[in-house]
Amino acid sequence: MKRIGIVLSFIAAAATVASGPAWAGVWHPLTQKNISVTITVTPSPVAYVPRTVAQAVRNPAPQPGLLAHLNPAALSAYHMVAQAGPTQGNVPVTINVQLDPTAQYLHIVGNTTVLNAGYGSNIYPCAYTVYADSPYLWRVEDWVYGSANGASIPFPTYAYPTQGDLGWLAEGITTSFAPFANAGGPGEMAWKGAANVAQSVCVDLQLTVPSTISAGTYSASLTYSLEFYY
Amino acid sequence: MNARRGFTALLIAVTMVAAATARVRAATGSVEATWKTAVIISMTVAPNFQSGFGPQGGPSSPAPAAGPSAIPGGGYVDFGKVVQGYNYLYKYAAQVAVLTNDSSGFQVFAEGSSDFTSASSGTWPIDTTLFWLPSNGTNTPYAAAVPFSKTSAMVTGSGATTGISYGAGLPPSSALVWSYAHSTIGLPSNSATQGYDYQLRLSGGAPVTQFSVYVVYTVVAK
C-alpha cells in the first residue's frame, strides 16, 4: 500500500511538471524580431481640389514662361531650353540572404509595410504575419519603439504616457484595435500558445492621422519578442 | 589758273572731311543681339563614397560586414551576408553629384531597373526590401526611409550600362530623391552633391540566395 502511494505521488509530480504552467517555472526570452513600417501621409484633399480646365483658362497661372514650355513654337529667344535628354547613372546593389537560425521559433513576413495614409483612420489588413512556436509554453510580446521617460518621440509612436496613433489587431485572436505599447520593452503580451503548437497570425494595423500632422514620410519600428515558460 | 586749282583742292578736301564725318556717325548705330542659353546638366553617381561605408545591423541582428564587391568609390553596394527577418543600414551607399548652369536647378529621380533578381530563386520585391534616406550620422536600420520602386518604363543596356528610357516623359514623381533650385556654377567643383544611405528590410520569408538589382538615377533640369 505504501508502495502504491509512492508511485501515485511520483505520477502526480510528473504530471505537474509536464503541465508546465502549473509548475513554478519562469519566462525565458528565446528570440526577438523587428519589423519597420514606412508611413506616407498624403496631403489633405481639401488643399488640392483641382481647377477645371475652363477655370484655368480664365485664370491662367501668372507664369507665361512655364506655359511657353508646353508649346515649343511659343519659345522666345529669352527662354532657356534644356538639352535633349536627361543623364543617368546607376548603382548595383547585392545581398546574400542567409537562413535565420531562430526563424523556426519566431519570424515575421511583411505584406504591406509601406502604409499610404490619409488624414483620419486608415486600416491595413494583414500588414504582416507573425509566426511563433516553441517546445514549451510560449508567449509573444510586442511594443513599438517608444520610451517610458516621456522623451520627445514623434508621430505615430510617441512615448508613454502619450498614447500612440498606431494600433494593432491579431486576426482570430483579438477583436478590436489596441494602441501599441510604447514604453519600451518588454511591452505587452500579444498572444500565447501551447508547446509545439505553431501559430501564424495576421496582424492588422490601424493608423489614425490627426490633422496637426504634416504630410510627409514617417516610420515606426515594431518589436516582437518570443518567450517560453520553463 | 593757280587760284582755280587751289579752290578745287579745297573743295575736294571739304568733301572728304564731310564724308569721313558721315562714316563716323554711321559707326555709332546699335545692334540687338539675342540668344538662347542651352542648359548644361550632367550627373555622376558614386557608390561607397565615403570611408566607413558598409552595412550596420540593429541591436538584435547578427553583425554584418560589407561583401567583396564593395570597394571605395565604386563597385557594388554589397550588403554581404544578411539574415532573413532583420533590418540593415548601409552607410554612404551612393553619392550623386550634379553640375548645371540652370538657375532653376534640377530634380533627381531613382528607381530600380527591376525587382531583386537571383539566378536560382527568381525575384524578390524591391519596394518592400530596399529603402533610401539622405546620409546622416543619426540614421539607423529602423529610421524613416523611402522605398525604391521597380520602374515601369523600358530598361536599356545591361550591367554597368543599365539605364531606363522614359521616352518623352519624366520619371514618376514618387521616384523623386532630390530637388535643387539653383545653378551649381560657383559651387566647389561647380557641382552640388547629395549622399544617400540604403536601408534593407529583409522579410523573414526571403529566399536564401544571392540577389542583385540596379538602382538607376536620372537627373532632369527644372
The residue of chain B nearest to residue A92, with distances taken between CA atoms, is B214
8 Å CB contact between A145 and A203: no
Q: Is B40 on the interface with A (CB under 8 A)?
A: yes
Residues A16-73 pLDDT 10s: 444 544 557 899 999 988 888 888 888 755 433 344 444 444 444 434 444 344 344 4
Is A98 within 8 Å of B209 when comparing Cβ atoms? Answer: no
Residue B141 located in a structural domain: yes
8 Å CB contact between A180 and A166: yes
Smallest CA-to-CA distance from B189 within B42, B51, B39 is with B42
* Of residues A78, A94, A218, nearest to B212 (C-beta): A94
Number of H helices, E strands in chain B: 1, 16
Residues B50-109 pLDDT 10s: 999 999 998 777 789 999 999 999 999 999 999 998 889 999 999 999 999 999 999 999
Rounded to whole angstroms, how far apart are CA atoms A113 and A124? 9
Residue B27 located in a structural domain: no
- Please state the pTM of the whole predicted model: 0.73
Reading phi first (left if > 0) and then psi (alpha if -120 to 50, else beta), residue A177 is in beta
Distance from the Cα of A75 to chain B's closest Cα (Å) equals 10
8 Å CB contact between B66 and B79: yes
Collapsed DSSP state (helix, strand, coil) of residue A218 = strand
8 Å CB contact between A225 and A186: yes
Is B38 within 8 Å of A83 when comparing Cβ atoms? Answer: yes
* Domain boundary assignment for chain A: 24-45+101-229
Q: Are strands A106-110 and A178-179 parallel, antiparallel or unpaired?
A: unpaired
Residues 170-209 of B with CB under 8 A from A: 198, 200-209
Residue B203 located in a structural domain: yes
Mutation to test the A interface, candidates B201, B208, B211, most A Cβ within 10 Å = B201
Residues B135-159 pLDDT 10s: 999 898 888 788 999 999 999 999 9
Among the listed ranges A81-90, A209-218, B60-69, B175-184, which one has the minimum average pLDDT value? A81-90
Chain A hits for B164, Cβ within 8 Å: 88
Element holding A49 (H helix, E strand): none
Collapsed DSSP state (helix, strand, coil) of residue A9 = helix
- How many CB atoms sit inside 10 A of residue A57's CB? 9
Chain B hits for A217, Cβ within 8 Å: 144-146
Residues A133-146 pLDDT 10s: 999 999 999 999 77
Is B81 within 8 Å of A96 when comparing Cβ atoms? Answer: yes
Collapsed DSSP state (helix, strand, coil) of residue A54 = helix
pLDDT band at A88 (very low <50, low <70, confident <90, very high): very high
Rounded to whole angstroms, how far apart are CA atoms A134 and A165? 32
Quote the cell numbers at residue B70.
Answer: 564593395
* Of residues B127, B205, B219, nearest to A87 (C-beta): B219
Name the CATH architecture for the domain at A24-45+101-229.
Sandwich (2.60)
Quote the cell numbers at residue A122.
Answer: 486608415
Containing domain of residue B181, as a range?
41-221
* Of residues A92, A109, A114, nearest to B203 (C-beta): A109
Distance from the Cα of B30 to chain A's closest Cα (Å) equals 19
| Residue A184 confidence (pLDDT) | 83
Does B121 have pLDDT greater than 80?
Answer: yes
Count of structural domains within chain B? 1
Rounded to whole angstroms, how far apart are CA atoms B164 and B157? 8
- Write b or e for each residue in B39-71: b if 16 or more Cβ atoms lie within 10 A of its Cβ, otherwise e: bbbebebbbbbeeebbbbbbeebeebebbebbe
Residue B6 located in a structural domain: no
Cα-flanking dihedrals φ and ψ of residue B161, to 5°? -100, 10
Is B38 within 8 Å of A93 when comparing Cβ atoms? Answer: no
C-alpha B56 chain-centroid distance: 26
Distance from the Cα of B26 to chain A's closest Cα (Å) equals 27
DSSP state of B150: B
Rounded to whole angstroms, how far apart are CA atoms A133 and A197? 6
Residue B144 located in a structural domain: yes
Per cent of chain A over pLDDT 90 is 47
| Angle subtended at Cα B169 by Cα B164 and Cα B172, rounded to the nearest 5 degrees | 70
Of A11 and B83, the one with more pLDDT: B83
Mutation to test the A interface, candidates B61, B77, B84, most A Cβ within 10 Å = B84
